[in-house]
Amino acid sequence: MKAKARAHANIALIKYWGKEDEELSIPNNSSLSLTLEAFYTETEVEFSELISEDEFYLDNRKDDITLLKVSKFLDLFRDRLNIKTRAIVKSINYVPTAAGLASSASAFAALAAAANKASGLNLNDKALSTFARKGSGSATRSIYGGIVEWQKGDSDQTSYAIEIDDANWDIGMVVVLVNSNEKKISSTKAMKQTVLTSPYYPSWVKDSEKDLIDIKAAIKDRDIRKIGEISERNALKMHATMLAAKPPIMYFEPNSILVIQIVQQLREKGIAAYFTMDAGPNVKILCKLSDANTIKEDLLKSFDKKDIIVTKVGPKVQII
Amino acid sequence: MKAKARAHANIALIKYWGKEDEELSIPNNSSLSLTLEAFYTETEVEFSELISEDEFYLDNRKDDITLLKVSKFLDLFRDRLNIKTRAIVKSINYVPTAAGLASSASAFAALAAAANKASGLNLNDKALSTFARKGSGSATRSIYGGIVEWQKGDSDQTSYAIEIDDANWDIGMVVVLVNSNEKKISSTKAMKQTVLTSPYYPSWVKDSEKDLIDIKAAIKDRDIRKIGEISERNALKMHATMLAAKPPIMYFEPNSILVIQIVQQLREKGIAAYFTMDAGPNVKILCKLSDANTIKEDLLKSFDKKDIIVTKVGPKVQII
């Protein structure tokens, strides 16, 4: 009745942006991501007949706000098993700072895996991925390691992720944490606003399906430049849908643009470095793992050491 | 046979982006701009039977590269009059720095007006606007003062500008010159690349026609907030088409984003300030003229005095 799991965060190279079905968290387009070793969440779930309410601790502190989402998520398991047993959930986020790198992907993947074991439901990875999806869209992908595709599907059962490459070759990421001066609009809200108001959104959905086909071919060839070019443009196309939303949504900060310029300069020097950005100001640089420290050196001229994290590709969710 | 003219630069609130007819410089969408008092070009044209080649002086220096474009432009007048007379053209750009505020609009409008007078062709403003168009698209609008609409039309004769409002009310602009570290792609090249490769371009064209209708209603109401909201989103939609081009085109610099953030903060303080950007890193802030100095004060915390120019609305092209 007790289990602990570790799941890693992931960064999408082909972005998930916009839901076809809000309730079931089915996306409008398939996406593809790289699981990252350096960022992860460890979560312990203990089902117990001795308690009458769920309890949730985040980083050793009781968190009654997040508890609501956690309880609702545990209900997926309880409903399937037709039990009412409450649980104590303890979760630790291993991210270098609280500077806004999304942890909901690793959080819900770890919670799903721990609850799966502790409850005895014992879903396979594919089914677990559909469960994680209902906690947080990007958590769908964090069940797996390496390079992961979230196939959008068209129903609860068919919208899940699969590993398409173990990424056990020269590929990695440098994450630059860009502190924000700005009030943020959440990715959930930004997504909705884009779907509802951006004239570019339909083209985004259509184009991203093509990007996915192209990047899978490039991954097969281990062609880091091709993978990078497709990723970078896909990210910019996503941000472009937001700039065209009403009102416009912009996640670029001055320092985000500075990182982008550094990446462009690195490419001019012959280094295969490509940026991607999500619903926040941080910039993630896709590169050969063997180039990551050279890239870090360059970034150190403009950024603090603590804000630059080099990471290799991470493994699938695991019981620990 | 000799005349001198002054024409002012203009900043589009509804952008011109992409040509339907490259040869005739007919755009894919109508646009709308504000003529600016602070930025202008003075050009003298003297037709003379004593010379056998055109001569061109820019800011008192002989410029044989630009001469080719100037000569071709003068041919429009000579062909119409069936003459071969060569001309000496002297042009001075009155822009505060060479930091990249486009001067081709004021340059070709001033050249058109001076050549029109000096050659004795004496076209009316509307016809002069079609001539200016063939020098540089945005020059079409710089024939007029106030708020100007460039009606796209569908032929050489029907693609011209008109003044739609004298802007003799509380409206102005603060221009922030952002120095660039980056190699630039010219607006002509960026435009072509966007038209050819951006999946968002067709939606841009369609949406901008609606923006034009909306902004004209807001101008009639002298509703600066509505004008600003439409302008700001229109500019972002244009930049979004470029981010989605292949390869992507980005004109944002770190300091461009800084100005955008300052504008957003000004709005939070209740000041009607709205940004627009063209094919470069400079940011132009639309505002009430009566708020312009307050806005400048705020910008002075982050930018040099010489890089912030407050301007009211400028007049039409004139013979001086």
Task: Give residue-wise pLDDT tens across range B54-63.
Answer: 999 999 999 9
Asked whether residue A98 carries a pLDDT value surpassing 60, the answer given is: no
8 A C-beta contact, residue A43 and residue A89: yes
Predicted confidence at residue A207, as pLDDT, reads 96
Interchain contact, A246 vs B260, CB within 8 Å: no
A261 near B CB under 8 A = yes
User: In the prediction, which pLDDT does A101 show?
Assistant: 66
Chain B neighbors of A246, CB-CB under 8 A: 233
Strand order in the sheet with A273-277: A273-277, A283-287, A172-176, A308-312
User: Which residue, among B15, B233, B243, B274, would best test binding to A if mutated, counting the most A CBs under 10 Å from its CB?
Assistant: B243
Please check whether residue A1 touches B, CB under 8 A.
no
- The answer to whether B244 faces chain A, any CB pair under 8 Å, is yes
pLDDT confidence of residue B179: 77
- pLDDT at residue B98 greater than cutoff 60: no
Mean pLDDT of A187-211: 96
Q: pLDDT, tens digit, for every residue of A290-315? A: 999 999 999 999 999 989 999 999 99
Size of interface A-B (CB pairs under 8 A): 91
**pLDDT band at A97; cut points 50, 70, 90:** very low
Residue A193 with chain B: CB contacts under 8 Å: none
Q: Which pTM value belongs to this model?
A: 0.95
Tell me the mean pLDDT in the region A240-258. Answer: 97
Domains in chain A with CATH codes = 2-168 (3.30.230.10), 172-312 (3.30.70.890)
What 3-state DSSP class applies to B73? helix
Confidence of residue B103 (pLDDT cuts 50, 70, 90): confident
What does each C-alpha distance from B216 to A70, A254, B129, B230, B274 come to in angstroms?
Answer: 51, 33, 20, 10, 17
Inter-CA distances, A217 with A156, A285, A314, B117, Å: 28, 20, 22, 62
> What's the rounded mean pLDDT across residues B117-139?
96
Q: How far apart are CA A196 and CA A189, in angstroms?
A: 11
Sign of CA dihedral A77, A27, A63, A93: positive
Q: Please list every residue in chain A whose beta carbon sits closer than 8 Å to the beta carbon of residue B250.
A: 236, 257, 260
User: Which residues on B lie below 8 Å from A254 (Cβ)?
Assistant: 254-255, 257-258, 261
Quick: pLDDT tens for B221-231.
Answer: 999 999 999 99
Per residue in A49-91, pLDDT (tens digit) is 999 999 999 999 999 999 999 999 999 999 999 999 999 999 9
Residues paired with residue A162 on neighbouring β-strands, in sequence order: A149
User: What is the chain A residue with the closest CA to B239?
Assistant: A240
The share of chain B scoring above pLDDT 90, in percent, equals 91
Instruction: Please name the member of B243, B246, B261 whose beta carbon is closest to the beta carbon of A181.
Output: B261
Nearest to B200 among A181, A203, A250 (CB): A203
Per-residue pLDDT at B304 exceeds 50: yes
Residue-wise pLDDT tens digits, B16-45: 999 999 889 999 999 999 999 999 999 999
Indicate the pLDDT class of residue B101, thresholds 50, 70 and 90: low
Cβ–Cβ < 8 Å for B84, B97: no
Distance between alpha carbon A300 and the CA centroid of its chain, in Å? Answer: 26
Mean pLDDT of chain B: 94
Whether chain A has a CB inside 8 Å of the CB on B210: the answer is: no
* Residue B7 near residue B320 (C-beta atoms within 8 A): no
| Token representation of residue B205 | 């064209």
Query: Do B237 and A244 make contact, defined as CB atoms within 8 angstroms?
Result: yes
Distance from CA of B48 to the nearest CA of A (A): 50
A103/A123: higher pLDDT: A123
